[in-house]
Amino acid sequence: MTQLVLNRGNQVLRHFRSFSAAAREAGLSRICAGDHFRFDHAAGARLGRRIATFVLMPALLIERSDAARR
């Protein structure tokens, strides 16, 4: 199991199975704090996934084509 552990000084440690789980909790906490609404969280998550795909897909395609040549 992969864990992402976040810690700042003497604060409580948070354990997450993935970066996505940490991002989801962070987004939902902003709803509870009254900073955002659920539709903000959903729209931000969709936009974040689209940006990640746009940025990372070329690198993944290059890596796959390099592996296929070997």
| Residues 6+ positions from 16 with CB-CB distance below 8 Å | 3, 4, 5, 6, 22, 25
Instruction: Return the pLDDT at 33.
Output: 85
5 DSSP 8-state letter:
E
pTM of the model: 0.60
* Angle, CA 31 vertex, CA 42 and CA 44 arms, to 5°: 25
Residue 68: count of CB within 10 angstroms of its CB: 7
pLDDT in tens, the chain (70 residues): 455 566 667 666 778 888 888 888 888 888 888 888 999 989 999 999 999 899 988 887 776 666 666 6
